[in-house]
Every structure is written in C-alpha cells, then in structure tokens.
C-alpha cells in the first residue's frame, strides 16, 4: 500500500461509514488512533494498526496487543552468534488481500462543492492535485490569496500582483500598477501625456 504521507483520514470521510454505519468499516479502523488505517502493520494475532501507532507502542515499550493482550514482542525464531534466542517486535506487513480491501475503500471528498467518491489508495492524490475544488495559492509573488483550483486561472488574469508588459515601453511591471508606472516612469508615456496636455492648452480660446 502506498504511504499516505503520514496523513490520517477520519472515519467520517469514508463512504461506507456514511452509508452503512461504523460496523461496516470497523475492521479498517486503527484501534489506537481511531482513524482509518494508514500504512498498516499486522500483529501475530492478526490485528492491524497504523505503522506510526506501532512505532509509538514500541517507544512506550508496550509488548502486548492493545486489543487482545497477546504478545507483540518475543522470539524471532533466530539465534545470535552465541546461540541465544533473539527477541524482536513481531509486527509484519499485512497480507495483500487486506491491502487491496483497504486501498479500495471508497472515500468521500470533503472539499466544498466536490463530493466525489474516490478509492482510499487514490485519495491523497485527489486531494493534493486532482480535485478542482481544492484550495490553491496564487503563484504570483506577493499574493497571499487561496482560491479554488477551477477559479485559479481567472484569478491570475486579474491578480494585482501579476506581471505584465507596459504597452508603451514593453518593460515588465506589476499588473496592479501598470497604469501608475506608465504615467510616472515610462518616458514614452510621459512624452505622449505632455503632447496631449499641450494640445489641450493650445485649443483653449
């Protein structure tokens, strides 16, 4: 199963839970953090926990399964150079059929306006780059706006921090200031402005 970047997903985003209640997904929930399993490991008693939750159990030196109290630390079946049994943590990768079930679990996108149902294995990519209703930051330097992905193009066309070329001298300027820059810095613009103002004065009776 692909790692989900350490991002746990709450059970209430699972379509099975929403449609059929908690019992429909109880086998897919980590007993430690109570979220959907993320990069799971299995115990010898065939219970499943998030990999990060297993690491926390190790750090706390909890050597029994939190569900049934069976040992999760013990003989590895190997011996050291002196012939003594080697003890180790007994967590292992889950079987492939369980992984397929977990990765295929339907998830409901919670982004406002989306509501698309995506398999858990594809859910992180959907949230990160595929959902058109996800919030994205404007790419222009200095702009702090976050807009929906499907509105980004129109925002960037009107963003006051966009860069454009001056119509008079072709110098690159910030979009929200092109009029001010052209009227105060651009020599061609100032020359045209002076000519127009002079013509107006000469036409005054």
For the residues of 104-136, what is the DSSP string, one character each? Answer: T-EEE--STT---EEEGGGHHHIIIII-TTSEE
Q: How far is CA 171 from the centre of its chain?
A: 38
- Which of 72-76, 95-99, 125-129 has the weakest average pLDDT? 72-76
Same domain, residue pair 157 and 182? no
Same domain, residue pair 96 and 185? no
* Residues 134, 147: Cα–Cα separation, whole Å: 8
First-to-last alpha carbon distance for the chain, in angstroms, is 85
* Residues 156, 158: Cα–Cα separation, whole Å: 5
Residue at 123 is within a domain: yes
Same domain, residue pair 20 and 53? yes
Same domain, residue pair 184 and 90? no
Residue at 182 is within a domain: yes
Residue at 124 is within a domain: yes
6: pLDDT confidence band, cut at 50, 70 and 90?
A: low
Same domain, residue pair 154 and 189? no
Three-class DSSP category at 138: coil
Q: Which position has the token pair 């292992």? A: 92
Same domain, residue pair 86 and 152? no
Cβ-based neighbour number of residue 28 at 10 Å: 20
Q: Which of 87, 94, 85, 115 is nearest to 28 (CA)?
A: 94
pTM of the model: 0.67
Same domain, residue pair 150 and 103? no
Task: Tell me which residue range forms the domain holding 119.
Answer: 11-130
* Residues 101, 119: Cα–Cα separation, whole Å: 10
Same domain, residue pair 136 and 124? no
Same domain, residue pair 62 and 107? yes
Residue at 2 is within a domain: no
Greater confidence (108 vs 175) lies with: 108
167: pLDDT confidence band, cut at 50, 70 and 90?
A: low
Same domain, residue pair 30 and 64? yes
- Which of 42-56, 72-86, 172-186 has the weakest average pLDDT? 172-186
Q: How far is CA 131 from the centre of its chain?
A: 11
Same domain, residue pair 72 and 123? yes
């Amino acid at each position: 199963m692909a790692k989900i970047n350490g991002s746990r997903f709450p059970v209430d985003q699972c379509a099975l839970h929403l449609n059929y209640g908690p019992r429909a997904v109880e086998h897919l929930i980590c007993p430690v953090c109570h979220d959907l399993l993320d990069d799971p490991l299995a115990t010898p008693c065939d219970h499943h926990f998030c990999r990060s939750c297993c690491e926390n159990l190790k750090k706390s030196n909890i050597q029994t399964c939190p569900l049934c109290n069976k040992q999760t630390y013990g003989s590895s079946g190997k011996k050291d150079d002196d012939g003594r049994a080697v003890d180790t943590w007994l967590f292992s990768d889950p079987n492939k059929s369980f992984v397929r079930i977990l990765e295929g679990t339907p998830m409901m996108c919670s982004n406002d306006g989306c509501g698309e149902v995506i398999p858990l294995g594809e859910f992180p990519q959907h949230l990160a780059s595929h959902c058109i209703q996800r919030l994205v930051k404007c790419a222009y330097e200095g702009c702090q706006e976050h807009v929906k992905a499907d509105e980004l193009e129109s925002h960037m066309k009107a963003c006051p921090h966009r860069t454009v070329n001056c119509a008079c001298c072709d110098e690159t300027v910030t979009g929200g200031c092109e009029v001010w820059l052209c009227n105060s810095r651009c020599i061609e613009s100032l020359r045209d402005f002076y000519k127009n103002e002079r013509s107006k004065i000469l036409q005054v009776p």
